[in-house]
Amino acid sequence: MRITLPELPQRTSDFLELMRFNKPIGTLLLLWPTLTALWIAADGTPSPGVLVIFILGVILMRAAGCVINDYADRHVDGAVVRTQYRPITDGRISPAEALLTFAALCLCAFVLVLMTNVLTILLSVGGLALAAIYPFMKRYTHLPQVVLGAAWAWVIPMAFAAQSGTLVTSLWVFYVAVVVWTVAFDTFYAMVDREDDKRIGIKSTAILFDDMDLTMIGILQGLTLVALLLTGQNFERGLWYFIGVGIIGLLFLYQQMIARNREPAACFKAFRNNNWVGLVLFLAVLIDTYSEALGTFIASR
């Protein structure tokens, strides 16, 4: 998904591109589990203030993650067809300016977190650390997607902490679901650049899995479904939630089908399809929550 930025001063446009405001797919992939966690934690009635804080936080931290990723990859992006014209790589934005932008985005996000509670503030430190180290893991391990998943899913305990002030044990199954799902969809993403990454020495699960890539993604998708089913059981979700998980299973099958020939464009399409996975999950929780409330209301009349 790409958005054409309006006519803006060139420098402004460059910084918005650096923060990927023209490509909102990453923001959406982070937003859906965030909203889902807030609705589950609040049993359908999240605090408006917390809701605004987390939506803005998602936008800021996804932008920050893109900036630090481009800073970390500034010496290699020029050798990859898909990334050779990124703002740092082609010289429109300096590395120092990128670091200042990253710091400013993180500071703004932290100011938002300060409006919650002590537990959420403490958890935010861990989330920032994970987001900051992820881009550099590609040099040292074939499992950077696992680090990304851990960072991506950190919004789950933060949402529970902000909404309820506690961390119930059951939330960690949902956390695992988002971690494993992230590893699966980001492996599709890594398959797009696999040949370039091999040539320049970047590591990824796509390279690690090699010819077993689709099989391993299928296993990860299966584990995601199991964890989502257990999450539904732990939080006593109803029929609509489990129907939603079933639809997610069909979406995973569709992703396997379109990526079966491992063509880069098809793998990227499979990656983007995960936006629907996140949306279906949130809608399943939403419909399930309010259908139960409506049923209770009718029964009480």
Q: Tell me: the pLDDT tens digits for 32-56?
A: 999 999 999 998 889 999 999 999 9
Question: Does residue 70 register a pLDDT over 90?
Answer: no
Band the pLDDT of 109: cuts 50, 70, 90. Answer: very high
Band the pLDDT of 258: cuts 50, 70, 90. Answer: very high
pTM here is: 0.90
- pLDDT score for 218: 97
Is 24 a member of any domain? yes
- pLDDT score for 167: 93
SS (H, E, C) 15-64: HHHHCCCCCCHHHHHHHHHHHHHHHHHCCCCCCHHHHHHHHHHHHHHHHH
Band the pLDDT of 14: cuts 50, 70, 90. Answer: confident
In percent, how much of the chain has pLDDT > 90?
69
Q: Are 193 and 77 in contact (CB under 8 A)?
A: no
Number of structural domains (the chain) is 1
- pLDDT score for 97: 93
We report the CATH number of the domain holding residue 117 as: 1.10.357.140
- pLDDT score for 3: 55
Degrees (nearest 5) of the Cα angle 159, 174, 287? 80
- pLDDT score for 298: 62
Is 299 a member of any domain? no
What is the domain extent for residue 157? 10-294
Question: Does residue 293 register a pLDDT over 80?
Answer: no
Is 4 a member of any domain? no
Band the pLDDT of 79: cuts 50, 70, 90. Answer: confident
Q: What is the mean pLDDT of residues 170-194?
A: 95
In percent, how much of the chain has pLDDT > 70?
94
Q: Tell me: the pLDDT tens digits for 128-148?
A: 899 889 888 888 899 999 999
- pLDDT score for 11: 81
Is 300 a member of any domain? no
Is 192 a member of any domain? yes
Question: Does residue 205 register a pLDDT over 60?
Answer: yes
Question: Does residue 296 register a pLDDT over 70?
Answer: no
Is 5 a member of any domain? no
Q: Are 104 and 63 in contact (CB under 8 A)?
A: no
Q: What is the mean pLDDT of the chain?
A: 91
Question: Does residue 186 register a pLDDT over 70?
Answer: yes
- Write the CB contacts of 100 (distance below 8 Å, at least 6 apart in sequence): none
Band the pLDDT of 294: cuts 50, 70, 90. Answer: low
Is 190 a member of any domain? yes
* Look-up of token digits 């998708």: 221
Q: What is the mean pLDDT of residues 112-118?
A: 94
* Look-up of token digits 């932290």: 110
Is 205 a member of any domain? yes
- pLDDT score for 4: 55
- pLDDT score for 1: 52
Structure token digits, residue 72:
């970390």
Band the pLDDT of 174: cuts 50, 70, 90. Answer: very high
Between 101 and 91, name the one with better pLDDT: 101
Between 78 and 183, name the one with better pLDDT: 183
End-to-end CA, the chain? 46
